[in-house]
Chains A and B, each alone.
Chain A
Amino acid sequence: MGRTLAEKVWDDHVVRRAEGEPDLLYIDLHLLHEVTSPQAFDGLRLSGRTVRRTDLTIATEDHNTPTLDIDKPIADPVSRTQLETLRKNCAEFGVRLHPLGDVEQGVVHVVGPQLGLTQPGTTVVCGDSHTSTHGAFGALAFGIGTSQVEHVLATQTLPMAPFRTMAVTVDGELPDGVSAKDLILAVIARIGTGGGQGHVIEYRGSAVEKLSMEARMTVCNMSIEAGARAGMIAPDETTFAYLKDRPHAPEGADWDAAVAYWRTLRTDEDAVFDREVRIDASELSPFVTWGTNPGQGAPLGASVPDPASFDDAGERLAAEKALEYMGLTAGTPLREVAVDTVFVGSCTNGRIEDLRNAAAVVEGRQVADGVRMLVVPGSVRVALQAVEEGLDKVFTAAGAEWRHAGCSMCLGMNPDQLAPGERSASTSNRNFEGRQGKGGRTHLVSPQVAAATAVLGHLASPADLSDVRTPVEA
């Protein structure tokens, strides 16, 4: 019987297979950041171990880093200590680090791909659940915990429990104004936050094949929000073109050999998935979340649902609690929900294409009174590219704040946070209670919806604001 893409990559990394034991897999690339690594390095130190393959390991600073005044000492002493600990550990163990201020610094899942380190058919791990992002290249990429970070540092391998396979097939054309973010939010709403549990999802179908690499990364990034262990997309010409000439892409004969191998990384015709989900792209529309988990979402044109409409008792209770936390009333059209803050950025939507999409909407328009809009590039390289294209000026002219690269308002670990009761439209990945700051309320949206929402002050899509653009003076 044929094999799926995920099974092929898995099989190519089995170091040891023995009856009654999990497979021991080789790890091609290990990404580190400051939050989940300190206790792992401590473990190495305590047991007198070293990093087995520093040449397959790379670190960056992202979660704690401020996005303003980055040339000044970090105000929060605990954040500062964590960053200093990473610097000390990387120096001691010989790991390459891109610290705050470095040109290659940024969100770990933006940095790996842009350096060309994330390649098809590789295994990629990081102490971060959004490692699933890298599956966009046809890599098998898992988020891991700190004990596993230590295990990979010491052995460059991981014992991994077997997985099940799921195909999410998206055929048809995405309508204008509907993005990869809307697609993945719709998938999560369909299968639920636990629907992918134990599975590696392969996204396939004509609509997926047409996506750019940035858009594929957005899709794979949020696989974890459906509970999946990983998300993958088969590599193709789009993948190869993105990788060619990147700093760590193979060169010369190695490039040819690599591409020849990468072309084999497709699910066989006769392979069978454990579960299949089909989605018609043409039926999708801009999608937003109304609740406190990423599965609680609806089309922008819908209203806040009535908890009584859920058949399942657990879902009903969850919806009741979510509406209470979110300060929403059932039946309110989602377009009438007013926000205080708009955040464009994160490992989900902090890439150059995301910034271009948001900028195209706010260009010649103004952020609504009383709304603050933060635009945070996913990496310094993304920021530099955006500046070269003049996007920073588009944002600041509209009244948005142009910030330094980092995780920023995706999670409450750095100064960029919501105040209690504040409401955001956010291009990030999690709308959990308190995720963006204690008491903060999050609506997950695409960059296009975020930008339109900033202009109108309530949840909106670009189609809602065709008449409010100020022509640029000749």
Chain B
Amino acid sequence: MEAFTTHTGRAVPLRRGNVDTDQIIPAHWLKKVTRNGFEDGLFEAWRKDPQFVLNQPERQGATVLVAGPDFGTGSSREHAVWALQNYGFATVLSSRFADIFRGNSLKNGLLTVVLPQDVIEALWKLTEADPTAEITVDLVAREVRAEGVTASFELDDNARWRLLEGLDDISLTLRHEEEIAAYEAERPSYKPRTVEV
């Protein structure tokens, strides 16, 4: 996983709530067997509308997505995270994320930041009025900064440490292999097995 420390970039204000993962990446894109090449599928249906915010020339190269509440609901597809990253987003800000999407994002180094809706609203107004306005997401200080906006955000120490260091979860878990083996030795014999017995 790529480390995330601090990021500054222009924003895409997405004034929509309940953006489900079928909108972020439609199902027909999920047939790919790689983690890359999803950028053209990002918000595919909405991008057919020339007025859609992602299609505006001044939003090209933006790396911070500022979205409405309940972002990433629905399917567990991690492809939604890959599509956002493949497109160029480094971070997504919203007042509420769906749990599975949030977990997926943090495992890939896409920092999802939970902010109060009034802060989201302020960031929407700022970046709608001035598309060149930059937003800084500082994981070291756990703070989001933009012109006229300074907001702290929460992320638990463990998740923050893994992101700052870009650590691989599997390697971390395998440091405790002995504890896994000890647990396995105590599992009851009635637990199901998938192999024919």
Q: Which residues of A contact B (CB under 8 A)?
A: 15-16, 20-22, 24, 26, 28-29, 35-36, 38-39, 42, 47, 49, 52, 54-58, 63-64, 76, 78-79, 81-82, 85, 96, 116-119, 122, 127-129, 131, 143-148, 150-151, 154-157, 159, 161, 193-194, 197-198, 224, 227, 229, 248-250, 254-255, 257-258, 261, 293, 314-315, 317-318, 321, 411-413, 430, 432-435, 438
Segment at the A interface, from B2-10, B96-104, B143-151? B96-104
B195 touches which of A29, A38, A54, A197 (Cβ 8 Å): A54
In the complex, what's the smallest C-beta–C-beta distance from A67 to chain B, in angstroms?
Answer: 16
In the complex, what's the smallest C-beta–C-beta distance from B164 to chain A, in angstroms?
Answer: 14
- Chain B contacts of A254 at CB under 8 A? 189-190
In the complex, what's the smallest C-beta–C-beta distance from B38 to chain A, in angstroms?
Answer: 11
In the complex, what's the smallest C-beta–C-beta distance from A434 to chain B, in angstroms?
Answer: 5
The answer to whether A85 touches B170 (Cβ under 8 A) is no
Instruction: Assess A16 versus B33: contact at CB under 8 Å? Given A144-B100, A151-B170.
Output: no
The answer to whether B18 touches A193 (Cβ under 8 A) is yes
Instruction: Assess A117 versus B98: contact at CB under 8 Å? Given A20-B157, A129-B74, A147-B169.
Output: no
The answer to whether B33 touches A432 (Cβ under 8 A) is no
B74 touches which of A81, A249, A257, A432 (Cβ 8 Å): A432
Instruction: Assess A81 versus B33: contact at CB under 8 Å? Given A20-B157, A117-B194, A147-B169.
Output: yes
- Chain B contacts of A58 at CB under 8 A? 194
- Chain A contacts of B103 at CB under 8 A? 144-145, 148, 161
Size category, B interface: 35 or more
The answer to whether A434 touches B22 (Cβ under 8 A) is yes
A39 to B33, CA, bound (A): 6
In the complex, what's the smallest C-beta–C-beta distance from B155 to chain A, in angstroms?
Answer: 11
A57 to B193, CA, bound (A): 8
B81 touches which of A145, A321, A413 (Cβ 8 Å): A145
Which residues of B from 160 to 186 have beta carbons under 8 Å from A? 169-170, 172-174, 176-177, 179-180, 183-184
- Chain B contacts of A118 at CB under 8 A? 192
Does B68 lie at the interface of the complex (its beta carbon under 8 Å from any beta carbon of A)? yes
Instruction: Assess A78 versus B76: contact at CB under 8 Å? Given A147-B104, A435-B22.
Output: no
The answer to whether A129 touches B100 (Cβ under 8 A) is yes
Which chain A residue lies CB-closest to B175? Answer: A16
Does B142 lie at the interface of the complex (its beta carbon under 8 Å from any beta carbon of A)? no
Given A36-B76, A321-B16, 4 more A-B residue pairs with CB atoms under 8 Å apart are A56-B194, A81-B33, A129-B76, A411-B22
What are the 6 tightest A-B residue pairs by CB atom distance, in nearest-first order? Answer: A145-B104, A38-B33, A145-B78, A258-B190, A147-B107, A250-B190
- Chain B contacts of A49 at CB under 8 A? 170
The answer to whether A57 touches B20 (Cβ under 8 A) is no
In the complex, what's the smallest C-beta–C-beta distance from A415 to chain B, in angstroms?
Answer: 11
Which residues of B from 1 to 42 have beta carbons under 8 Å from A? 15-18, 20, 22-23, 26-28, 30-35
B45 touches which of A55, A129, A433 (Cβ 8 Å): A433
The answer to whether A35 touches B158 (Cβ under 8 A) is no
Q: Which residues of B contact A (CB under 8 A)?
A: 15-18, 20, 22-23, 26-28, 30-35, 45, 68-70, 73-79, 81, 96, 98-100, 103-104, 107-108, 156-158, 169-170, 172-174, 176-177, 179-180, 183-184, 187-195, 197
The answer to whether A35 touches B77 (Cβ under 8 A) is yes
In the complex, what's the smallest C-beta–C-beta distance from A99 to chain B, in angstroms?
Answer: 15
The answer to whether A129 touches B75 (Cβ under 8 A) is yes
A-B contact pairs, 17 of them (CB 8 A): A36-B77, A42-B33, A52-B180, A78-B31, A85-B33, A119-B191, A128-B75, A129-B75, A145-B76, A161-B156, A254-B190, A261-B188, A293-B20, A317-B15, A321-B16, A411-B22, A430-B74
A198 to B97, CA, bound (A): 10
Instruction: Assess A155 versus B170: contact at CB under 8 Å? Given A22-B158, A143-B100, A194-B96.
Output: yes
The answer to whether B33 touches A47 (Cβ under 8 A) is no
B73 touches which of A122, A194, A314 (Cβ 8 Å): A194
In the complex, what's the smallest C-beta–C-beta distance from B31 to chain A, in angstroms?
Answer: 4
A35 touches which of B26, B30, B99 (Cβ 8 Å): B30
The answer to whether A413 touches B99 (Cβ under 8 A) is no
